[in-house]
Chains A and B, each alone.
Chain A
Amino acid sequence: MAADDPTAAGLDELTARFEATIAANERIEPRDWMPDGYRQTLIRQIAQHAHSEIIGMQPEANWITRAPSLLRKAILLAKVQDEAGHGLYLYAAAETLGVSRAELFELLHNRKQKYSSIFNYPTLTWADVGAIGWLVDGAAITNQVPLCRCSYGPYARAMIRICKEESFHQRQGFDILYRLSHGTPAQHEMAQDAVNRWWWPSLMMFGPPDDQSPHTAQSMAWGIKRFTNDELRQKFVDMIVPQAAVLGLTLPDPQLRWNPERGHYDFGPIDWSEFYRVISGGGPCNEQRLRHRIEAYTAGAWVREAAAAYAAKHGQRTAA
């Protein structure tokens, strides 16, 4: 079969076919030939996306047992459950590229793969749960909606399912903040404080500015990325500013104002030194998040071994 032809002529033909598929806006599927760089980029991106869902359960799970009403508790439980489900979809999508979930866990646990910088910030009050829904999930959606048209089929299809649920989460976060903002003075203050703490980290979720983002050009050429980091960040700001007005909350940026010439909101400079410090392990919760994850995984080893041993004895599929 041509797909396995190792000769240069064969490779040229495969590359041409791959590029034609991308140019026609069609999907690359797991059995299709793809350049190794494309495969590696996708593995890295999907895995880090999956890790973000799994690590991202922690800051919100932190408040399930303390949620202030039974309705809010139920909504938060369902949300954290959705995140675990998103992690599963994404690990499954990554597995179609020839890596196993266990390998990816190992890369996460050994700090060889990252997760979103945002989850290295602590949830200090109930309002943080609202701010995460509104700002963090809002930023995630802005990032992820274009991925529904990503050139790699399994990733694009996972994103379609995930984006539906994320939009719902964002509305729920908005709703939490709205109730707080329009509640007692103490609740309003709690909401404003949370937005003050989560605003800049949310803007950092889009990654470094375009002139410092080395992978962007290649990812856009491959149809993995559809917009640059700065374009997405601007879309997010333009979406959030009017929502903040409805909430009755301010965003902690004195330079934030409408620019009629650009047709966009201008905003102040991001502290990129903080961003680079956090993604290199120096954020307030990096150590705690990874330790929590490794401890859960390690403490569960005997359970996974039991499931495998039982399956071996009883001739069933292994659980791991």
Chain B
Amino acid sequence: MTTDPLLFTYTLRLGDDALILAQRLSEWASRAPEIEEDIALTNIALDLLGQARVLLDYAGKVEGAGRDEDDLAYLRTEPEFLNVHLVEQENGDFAHTIARQLFFSTYQLALYEELISSKDDVLAGVAAKGVKEAAYHRDHAQQWTLRLGDGTEESHRRMQAAVDRFWPFTPELFESDEVTRALAARGIGVDPSVLRPRWEQAIDDVLREATLRKPELIWASYGGRRGVHTECFGYLLAEMQYLHRLHPDASW
């Protein structure tokens, strides 16, 4: 396979988003408010992990340096990960996890809907399968946003706090740069800025129905796409990578 640095970066970004959110969601296993939610959250984690594996495997091939999905997941350092800040944020309470998921799945669904027509067969394939998964994830997050927002006083307060907390991490989802613009021009990738109106419309509708207030944007967190992360990310990687790094010659 010929090397294509832009496609490598683009694929890695999508794969890292899925991988890191899967890692966060899997922290919920055995801790959910209901057994049904234990199943739902691990199910979403598993879908995302499946997407991540295909994307990282492909990124490795595009790069042409012989790295496989595990090399990319386990042997990169923090600045080499290109996921958005939103997905690396800690789980918090159930409302925080739901708010993060609502924002991300709504974005990912819009992205995959566009990416289905990518000229790159692998990305189009990931999107075709992922669009069904993202639709389910979004529906799950949306249903819970309604229940928490329009449930009890306490749940309303917690859901609003969660929406407020993660709002500053949403503009990064739509950040475009030379990578996304170049790949969009080649008909391979999606310039995320085009997804923003659809995302805002969907989120506005959900927040309104859930009796929640749309937050003001006081600051916005950027940098993940360039490998500049938030403080919590190093801990996530330390936990995820330690065993693999401890046994460099091993296969599992």
Quick check: is A259 within 8 A (CB to CB) of the other chain?
no
- A65 CA to B252 CA, complexed, in Å: 15
| Contact, CB under 8 Å: A84 / B38 | yes
| Contact, CB under 8 Å: B39 / A310 | no
With both chains docked as a complex, state the minimum distance between the C-beta of B150 and any C-beta of chain A, in angstroms.
Answer: 6
Quick check: is A69 within 8 A (CB to CB) of the other chain?
yes
- A310 CA to B34 CA, complexed, in Å: 16
- A66 CA to B222 CA, complexed, in Å: 28
B49-73 vs A, CB cutoff 8 Å, 1 = contact: the mask equals: 1101100100000000000011001
With both chains docked as a complex, state the minimum distance between the C-beta of B151 and any C-beta of chain A, in angstroms.
Answer: 3
Task: Give the nearest-CB partner of B248 in chain A.
Answer: A184
Interface centre among A71, A299, A303 (most CB of B within 10 A): A303
| Contact, CB under 8 Å: B34 / A69 | no
Stretch at the interface among A53-61, A211-219, A238-246: A53-61
Q: Name 30 A/B residue pairs within 8 A (Cβ), A-sorted.
A: A54-B30, A58-B30, A61-B26, A64-B26, A66-B242, A67-B243, A68-B252, A70-B70, A74-B46, A74-B50, A74-B53, A77-B46, A80-B42, A84-B42, A126-B243, A179-B251, A184-B249, A184-B250, A296-B33, A300-B94, A301-B33, A303-B37, A303-B155, A305-B152, A305-B155, A306-B147, A306-B154, A310-B150, A319-B34, A319-B147
Quick check: is B27 within 8 A (CB to CB) of the other chain?
yes
Residues of A near B242 (CB, < 8 A) are 66
| Contact, CB under 8 Å: B49 / A296 | no
| Contact, CB under 8 Å: A68 / B244 | yes
| Contact, CB under 8 Å: B151 / A300 | no
With both chains docked as a complex, state the minimum distance between the C-beta of B249 and any C-beta of chain A, in angstroms.
Answer: 6
B6-37 vs A, CB cutoff 8 Å, 1 = contact: the mask equals: 00000000000001000100110111111111
Quick check: is B185 within 8 A (CB to CB) of the other chain?
no
Asked if A184 meets B35 with Cβ closer than 8 Å, knowing A72-B252, A303-B148, the reply is: no
Quick check: is A304 within 8 A (CB to CB) of the other chain?
yes
| 8 Å CB contact of A305 from B39, B43, B151 | B151
| Contact, CB under 8 Å: A73 / B151 | no
Segment 266-319 of A: residues with Cβ below 8 Å from B? 292-293, 296-297, 299-310, 313-314, 319
Q: Which residues of A contact B (CB under 8 A)?
A: 54, 57-58, 61, 64-74, 77-78, 80-81, 84-85, 87-88, 91, 126, 176, 179-180, 183-184, 186-187, 292-293, 296-297, 299-310, 313-314, 319
Residues of A near B29 (CB, < 8 A) are 57, 61, 64, 77, 80-81
- A81 CA to B22 CA, complexed, in Å: 14
Residues of B near A70 (CB, < 8 A) are 19, 49, 52-53, 56, 69-70, 73
| Contact, CB under 8 Å: A296 / B243 | no
| Contact, CB under 8 Å: B252 / A179 | yes
Residues of B near A292 (CB, < 8 A) are 30-31
Quick check: is B181 within 8 A (CB to CB) of the other chain?
no
3 tightest A-B contacts by CB? A300-B33, A306-B151, A306-B155
- A305 CA to B69 CA, complexed, in Å: 42
Additional A-B contact list (6), CB under 8 Å, known A70-B70, A306-B154, A319-B147: A74-B49, A84-B38, A126-B243, A179-B252, A302-B158, A303-B148
Residues of B near A296 (CB, < 8 A) are 30-33
Task: Give the nearest-CB partner of B159 in chain A.
Answer: A306
Task: Give the nearest-CB partner of A50 in chain B.
Answer: B35
With both chains docked as a complex, state the minimum distance between the C-beta of B245 and any C-beta of chain A, in angstroms.
Answer: 9
Asked if A302 meets B150 with Cβ closer than 8 Å, knowing A54-B35, A77-B29, A77-B49, the reply is: no
Residues of B near A300 (CB, < 8 A) are 32-34, 37, 94
Residues of A near B247 (CB, < 8 A) are 68, 184, 186-187
Interface centre among A68, A81, A180 (most CB of B within 10 A): A68
B93-131 vs A, CB cutoff 8 Å, 1 = contact: the mask equals: 110000000000000000000000000000000000000
Residues of A near B250 (CB, < 8 A) are 68, 183-184, 186-187
With both chains docked as a complex, state the minimum distance between the C-beta of A301 and any C-beta of chain B, in angstroms.
Answer: 8
| Contact, CB under 8 Å: A69 / B70 | yes
Residues of B near A179 (CB, < 8 A) are 251-252
Residues of B near A303 (CB, < 8 A) are 33-34, 37, 94, 148, 155
- A306 CA to B162 CA, complexed, in Å: 15
Interface centre among B33, B37, B53 (most CB of A within 10 A): B33
| Contact, CB under 8 Å: A309 / B151 | yes
- A73 CA to B26 CA, complexed, in Å: 9
With both chains docked as a complex, state the minimum distance between the C-beta of B192 and any C-beta of chain A, in angstroms.
Answer: 25
Task: Give the nearest-CB partner of A73 in chain B.
Answer: B49
Asked if A81 meets B46 with Cβ closer than 8 Å, knowing A68-B250, A73-B26, A296-B31, the reply is: yes
Quick check: is B239 within 8 A (CB to CB) of the other chain?
yes
- A124 CA to B48 CA, complexed, in Å: 27
Asked if A87 meets B35 with Cβ closer than 8 Å, knowing A66-B243, A299-B93, A302-B152, the reply is: yes
With both chains docked as a complex, state the minimum distance between the C-beta of A309 and any C-beta of chain B, in angstroms.
Answer: 5
Residues of B near A61 (CB, < 8 A) are 26, 29-30
- A68 CA to B70 CA, complexed, in Å: 9
Task: Give the nearest-CB partner of A303 in chain B.
Answer: B33
